[in-house]
Structure 1
Amino acid sequence: MDFLTAMGGTATGFFGAVIPFLFVLTVVVFVHEMGHFLVGRWCGVGVHAFSIGFGPELVGFNDRHGTRWKLCAIPLGGYVKFHGDANGASVPSPEAISRMTPQERATSFPTQPVAKRAAIVVAGPVANFILAILLFAGAIWLGGRMELPARVSAIDPNSAAAQAGFQPGDLVKSIDGEPVADFNAMYRIVTGSAGTPLNFVVERAGADVPIVATPAVYEESTKFGRHRIGRLGIRSPAASEAKLVTYGPVASLGLGVHETAFVVERTFSYLGKLVTGRESADQLSGPIGIARVSGEVAKVGGIGGLIGLIALLSVSIGLLNLFPVPLLDGGHLLFYAFEVVRGRPLSERAQEIGFRLGLALVLVLMIFAAWNDILNLGASWRAT
């Protein structure tokens, strides 16, 4: 009976993670590929296939333009295959292009002007950023935000805040020149700045006081895994001081842009620390980690939590695709930049080598992220 109960709990946990994960990933991938598709159509390029997932087709249909819309067996991505592409990564097919008629060349992706190709490529990541902005803005507009004053109620002894000179009653006005709206805004900046000196301006007895403080590095264990965060040792005001602040559609849209920009800035900050050795690569997650987080978010936050996760993942997918790695959207843009500078495309051999290197790099990154996910999952099981 214990064995069957354990197996039942494992199955429930598995499906409880997989279904939210597929929902989150499918929405993000669909919007990304729809960006490519719409701009491609607007530019007069023919589209052979719009696929969610890879591998064998499970279900699909043809639209009146001849595009095959399909759902495939491996739901870990998607692609739009344009006329003249050798595959879904928009690698050109020289043989197919050489056999094209003038009419076919007019609707082929590789024969379009650089500006059109670049617009089609960048449309995918842009669509992800737009989705994130709209989701963040919609959540703020419909539900408002609970805000606590960014005031120091108490300070932990021997903490980074105590050493820096914070005092109870200080009201934090800005960090590194950026205005601080509430305690949550300060918390997000501090937790994402472990080991990085921050320049605070606090209001104390009616005067502005500058303080430089470096959040201590702290490892935090949550349902979502282990994370290294920054900690000052500042206590927030009582929850009774929180108030619900509502925003109109225009203000909400501005805050949606701000939220998206914050995620982008934090991502680049992490990558910068990773390159300089101030951050560890074990924070990188792959599909297993995302599935685990999706399941936990679905249990804790329901559909609202999943919508927030979609916004975060959408920003991440948009940024990742803009990296100048051949095979990704950013790699295509890099090739187009060379084409503009040289006045002609890179040779087929050079592009082939670039795509192969890009594929190898992406595969290595996926394997590394999956290994991190497995280690984190094992640590979680041992902790329970």
Structure 2
Amino acid sequence: MNELLHALTSTEGILIGTLVPFLFVLTVVVFVHEMGHYLVGRACGIGVNAFSIGFGPELIGFNDRHGTRWKLCAIPLGGYVKFVGDMNATSSPTDPETAGLSEAERKVAFHTQPVWKRAATVFAGPLFNFLLTIAVFAVLFAAYGRYVAEPMVASVTAGSPAAEAGIMPGDRFVSVDGEKVETFADVQRLVSGRAGDAITFVMLRDGKDVTVVATPRLMEQQDALGNKVQVAIIGVVNNQEVGQPRLVTYTPVQALGVAVEETGHIIERTGQFLKRFAVGREDKCQLGGPVKIAGMAGQAAKLGFEWLVQLVALLSVGIGILNLLPIPPLDGGHLLFYAVEAVIRRPVSERMMEAMYRTGFLLVLGFMGFVFWNDLFGC
């Protein structure tokens, strides 16, 4: 019995070592996402009935002076903001249930607002996720700076794409597919998600630019959290002698600019991954669900709080991107409806919205099942 209790409650155990970090990461990301909906909705004059972290039975809660019920629920895998008049999952503006609202409620009901207010409120959730990522990176860059290395080639792996392309030790990367690079991390970023793509590299050799083409290949590696990941490489190595790694420090303003840039790179790489995944060019095991995230949270917590905060930033931007996919019932699906409404100058028919919602809901359920399968059995 004591051994079981220790396994559950020690910092290496399931409860403290994995579940608590997982709930911390997920709660922060969900809270910020829903707070985006809430704050922008309130700013647009929309009434809010409830702000919930989690689903299912309420554990604790209170009502604020505006009549909003703030609550923590038993199933901590998400959250929601319920606006006045928001009667169903499709957020249909023609829902007959809204006919029962009082005149005062109709003035602040979600469906009676102009389409731009509804769109702004919906978009605010993913936007706040991106802002959270920027804020975390800005603080980390300002507090710790970051190490960078010159984009130099110390050695080339025999038989690698780089060797076949004619890249040589002592070469310096100038650009990758037309994008200028300043650090070796820039090269890794531009190559790592493009397995099978022919990439043009401009190298500086003996004072002259040399253009070569190499096609990265997938290689299994371990990331900092111990996860096995498939990364595209060309087979060049950078070391301390030629890379001359150095710590770059930033003022708060500089850190903010670098954080915006880094967040943009993550969004770009994630979009690139999703497009390649959709056509079968990415490893399915790269996608994981709650079980994988919980494991990563536990590993990050062991490495230190700053690692856990970085995981929050990465998960936040991922949640923001996924929610912008134009699939009901995700935020992007609602934004698609509002875009159509703005063009045709009338709401999409309730029948069409419900049909698309059901289809989208099945797609979301299928995706959730897929990542759960990956977590438990597939990978």
TM-score range (shorter-chain normalised) is over 0.9
Q: Secondary structure of the residue that 1:106 maps to in structure 2? A: helix
Give distance in 1, aligned partners of 2:6 and 2:93: 48
Output one character per residue of 1:196-225: Cα deviation in whole Å (capped at 9) or x when no partner.
222212211111222211111212356543
Q: Secondary structure of the residue that 2:188 maps to in structure 1? A: helix
Deviates more, 1:27-36 or 1:332-341: 332-341
Give 1:318's match in structure 2, choosing from 274, 298, 320: 320
Q: Secondary structure of the residue that 1:110 maps to in structure 2? A: helix
Output one character per residue of 1:304-351: Cα deviation in whole Å (capped at 9) or x when no partner.
111111111111111111111111111111111221222211222222
CA distance 1:91–1:309, shift in 2 (3 Å): farther
Deviates more, 1:129-138 or 1:365-374: 129-138
CA distance 1:13–1:184, shift in 2 (3 Å): farther
Residue 109 of structure 1 is matched in structure 2 by: 110
Give distance in 2, aligned partners of 1:69 and 1:319: 26
Give 2:309's match in structure 1, choosing from 301, 307, 310: 307
Asked if the contact 1:81/1:89 (under 8 Å) is kept, the reply is no
Residue 34 of structure 2 is matched in structure 1 by: 33
Unaligned runs of 5+ in 2: none
Give 2:250's match in structure 1, choosing from 247, 250, 274: 247
Give distance in 1, aligned partners of 2:246 and 2:83: 51
Unaligned runs of 5+ in 1: 380-384
Residue 57 of structure 2 is matched in structure 1 by: 56
Give distance in 2, aligned partners of 1:151 and 1:117: 50
Deviates more, 1:175-184 or 1:104-113: 175-184
Give distance in 2, aligned partners of 1:23 and 1:244: 30
Give 1:242 shift.
1.6
Give distance in 2, aligned partners of 1:237 and 1:104: 65
Residue-pair matches, total: 374
Give distance in 2, aligned partners of 1:57 and 1:241: 56
1:271 aligns with 2:292: no
Pairing of 1:1-384 with structure 2 (within 5 A)? 9=7, 12-15=12-15, 16-87=17-88, 90=91, 94-221=95-222, 224-238=226-240, 241-300=244-303, 302-375=304-377
Give distance in 2, aligned partners of 1:221 and 1:196: 23
Asked if the contact 2:122/2:335 (under 8 Å) is kept, the reply is yes
Q: Secondary structure of the residue that 2:70 maps to in structure 1? A: strand
Asked if the contact 1:200/1:211 (under 8 Å) is kept, the reply is yes
Q: Secondary structure of the residue that 1:219 maps to in structure 2? A: strand
Give distance in 2, aligned partners of 1:138 and 1:87: 39
Deviates more, 1:270-279 or 1:314-323: 270-279
Letter of the aligned partner of 1:14 in structure 2? I
Letter of the aligned partner of 2:143 in structure 1? L
Asked if the contact 1:82/1:90 (under 8 Å) is kept, the reply is no
Asked if the contact 1:153/1:237 (under 8 Å) is kept, the reply is yes
CA distance 1:138–1:29, shift in 2 (3 Å): same
Letter of the aligned partner of 2:130 in structure 1? F
Give distance in 2, aligned partners of 1:356 and 1:251: 46
Give distance in 1, aligned partners of 2:5 and 2:173: 51
Output one character per residue of 1:176-213: Cα deviation in whole Å (capped at 9) or x when no partner.
22222212222233222222222212211111222211
CA distance 1:91–1:23, shift in 2 (3 Å): farther
Give distance in 1, aligned partners of 2:290 and 2:235: 34
Give 1:375 shift.
2.6
Give distance in 2, aligned partners of 1:237 and 1:73: 50
- Taking structure 2 as the reference length, the TM-score comes to 0.93
- Taking structure 1 as the reference length, the TM-score comes to 0.91
Asked if the contact 2:93/2:111 (under 8 Å) is kept, the reply is yes
CA distance 1:283–1:7, shift in 2 (3 Å): farther
Asked if the contact 1:80/1:88 (under 8 Å) is kept, the reply is no
Output one character per residue of 1:67-109: Cα deviation in whole Å (capped at 9) or x when no partner.
0111111111110000001257745572331122332211000
Give distance in 2, aligned partners of 1:340 and 1:91: 15
Deviates more, 1:88-97 or 1:66-75: 88-97
Give distance in 2, aligned partners of 1:149 and 1:237: 10
Task: Calculate percent identity across the aligned residue pairs.
Answer: 51
Give 1:115 shift.
0.8
Letter of the aligned partner of 2:298 in structure 1? G
Give 1:280 shift.
3.0
CA distance 1:59–1:91, shift in 2 (3 Å): farther
Asked if the contact 1:81/1:90 (under 8 Å) is kept, the reply is no
Letter of the aligned partner of 2:287 in structure 1? L
Output one character per residue of 1:264-285: Cα deviation in whole Å (capped at 9) or x when no partner.
1111111221222222333211
Asked if the contact 1:85/1:93 (under 8 Å) is kept, the reply is no
Output one character per residue of 1:143-171: Cα deviation in whole Å (capped at 9) or x when no partner.
11111111111111111111111111111
Q: Secondary structure of the residue that 2:168 maps to in structure 1? A: coil
Output one character per residue of 1:227-258: Cα deviation in whole Å (capped at 9) or x when no partner.
22112221112279321111122221121111
Asked if the contact 1:48/1:83 (under 8 Å) is kept, the reply is yes
CA distance 1:296–1:89, shift in 2 (3 Å): farther
Give distance in 2, aligned partners of 1:114 and 1:91: 12
